Amino acid sequence: MGYNLHYFDEVKFEIQEAKNWYKGKKIGLEKRFAQEVKRALVRVQNNPKGYEIKYKKIRSAFTDVFPYAIHFFIDDEYKRIVIVAILHQNRNPKLHQNR
Protein backbone atom coordinates (compact mmCIF):
# COMPACT_ATOMS: atom_id res chain seq x y z
CA MET A 1 0.00 0.00 0.00
CA GLY A 2 1.28 3.46 -0.89
CA TYR A 3 1.61 6.53 1.23
CA ASN A 4 -1.15 9.14 1.49
CA LEU A 5 -0.33 12.84 1.22
CA HIS A 6 -1.12 15.20 4.09
CA TYR A 7 -0.43 18.92 4.10
CA PHE A 8 0.30 21.51 6.74
CA ASP A 9 -2.31 24.29 6.50
CA GLU A 10 0.31 26.82 5.37
CA VAL A 11 1.08 24.82 2.23
CA LYS A 12 -2.17 25.77 0.51
CA PHE A 13 -1.39 29.44 1.16
CA GLU A 14 2.14 29.02 -0.23
CA ILE A 15 0.83 27.40 -3.41
CA GLN A 16 -1.83 30.08 -3.89
CA GLU A 17 0.70 32.84 -3.28
CA ALA A 18 3.01 31.38 -5.94
CA LYS A 19 0.13 30.89 -8.38
CA ASN A 20 -0.89 34.54 -7.93
CA TRP A 21 2.67 35.67 -8.59
CA TYR A 22 2.96 33.60 -11.78
CA LYS A 23 -0.48 34.74 -12.95
CA GLY A 24 0.76 38.32 -12.65
CA LYS A 25 3.70 37.49 -14.91
CA LYS A 26 1.77 35.72 -17.67
CA ILE A 27 -1.81 34.54 -17.92
CA GLY A 28 -1.96 30.76 -17.74
CA LEU A 29 1.46 30.41 -16.12
CA GLU A 30 -0.20 29.76 -12.76
CA LYS A 31 -1.86 26.66 -14.25
CA ARG A 32 1.48 25.36 -15.51
CA PHE A 33 2.92 25.92 -12.05
CA ALA A 34 0.06 24.01 -10.39
CA GLN A 35 0.46 21.13 -12.85
CA GLU A 36 4.20 20.99 -12.20
CA VAL A 37 3.66 20.88 -8.43
CA LYS A 38 1.15 18.04 -8.91
CA ARG A 39 3.65 16.08 -11.02
CA ALA A 40 6.34 16.55 -8.38
CA LEU A 41 3.94 15.40 -5.65
CA VAL A 42 3.15 12.25 -7.64
CA ARG A 43 6.88 11.52 -7.87
CA VAL A 44 7.20 12.00 -4.11
CA GLN A 45 4.21 9.77 -3.45
CA ASN A 46 5.55 7.04 -5.73
CA ASN A 47 9.01 6.98 -4.17
CA PRO A 48 9.19 9.04 -0.96
CA LYS A 49 12.35 7.37 0.31
CA GLY A 50 14.12 8.17 -2.95
CA TYR A 51 14.79 11.69 -1.67
CA GLU A 52 17.61 12.26 0.75
CA ILE A 53 17.09 13.76 4.18
CA LYS A 54 18.27 17.38 4.08
CA TYR A 55 17.88 18.26 7.77
CA LYS A 56 16.37 16.49 10.73
CA LYS A 57 13.79 14.22 9.08
CA ILE A 58 12.85 16.63 6.28
CA ARG A 59 13.40 15.60 2.67
CA SER A 60 13.19 17.87 -0.36
CA ALA A 61 11.92 17.22 -3.86
CA PHE A 62 12.26 19.76 -6.63
CA THR A 63 9.90 20.69 -9.42
CA ASP A 64 11.34 20.27 -12.91
CA VAL A 65 10.31 23.56 -14.49
CA PHE A 66 9.80 26.05 -11.68
CA PRO A 67 12.39 26.76 -8.95
CA TYR A 68 10.36 25.29 -6.09
CA ALA A 69 11.11 22.65 -3.49
CA ILE A 70 8.61 20.42 -1.71
CA HIS A 71 9.71 19.86 1.89
CA PHE A 72 8.24 16.75 3.48
CA PHE A 73 8.74 13.96 5.96
CA ILE A 74 7.61 10.35 5.96
CA ASP A 75 5.38 9.07 8.74
CA ASP A 76 5.84 5.31 8.40
CA GLU A 77 3.54 4.53 11.32
CA TYR A 78 0.52 6.02 9.53
CA LYS A 79 1.82 5.42 5.98
CA ARG A 80 1.68 9.07 5.06
CA ILE A 81 3.85 11.73 3.55
CA VAL A 82 3.47 15.05 5.35
CA ILE A 83 4.10 18.08 3.16
CA VAL A 84 5.54 20.75 5.42
CA ALA A 85 6.17 23.48 2.84
CA ILE A 86 6.41 24.26 -0.84
CA LEU A 87 8.89 27.10 -1.17
CA HIS A 88 10.83 28.92 -3.85
CA GLN A 89 14.39 27.61 -3.80
CA ASN A 90 15.77 31.07 -2.95
CA ARG A 91 13.69 31.25 0.23
CA ASN A 92 15.18 30.11 3.48
CA PRO A 93 13.96 26.55 4.20
CA LYS A 94 14.20 27.31 7.91
CA LEU A 95 11.02 29.37 7.51
CA HIS A 96 8.96 26.25 8.13
CA GLN A 97 10.97 24.72 10.96
CA ASN A 98 8.47 25.90 13.57
CA ARG A 99 5.65 23.97 11.91
What digits encode the pLDDT tens for the residues 37-61? 999 999 999 999 999 999 899 999 9
Quick one: pLDDT at residue 96?
56
Locate the domains of the chain by residue range.
4-95
pTM of structure: 0.88
CATH architecture of 4-95: 2-Layer Sandwich (3.30)
Residue 95 has pLDDT above 80, yes or no: no
Please answer whether residues 36 and 29 qualify as being in contact, where contact means their C-beta atoms are separated by less than 8 angstroms: no
DSSP letter string, 26-77: STTHHHHHHHHHHHHHHHHHH-GGGS-EEETTEEEEE-SSSSEEEEEEEETT
What digits encode the pLDDT tens for the residues 61-94? 999 999 999 999 999 999 999 999 999 988 665 6
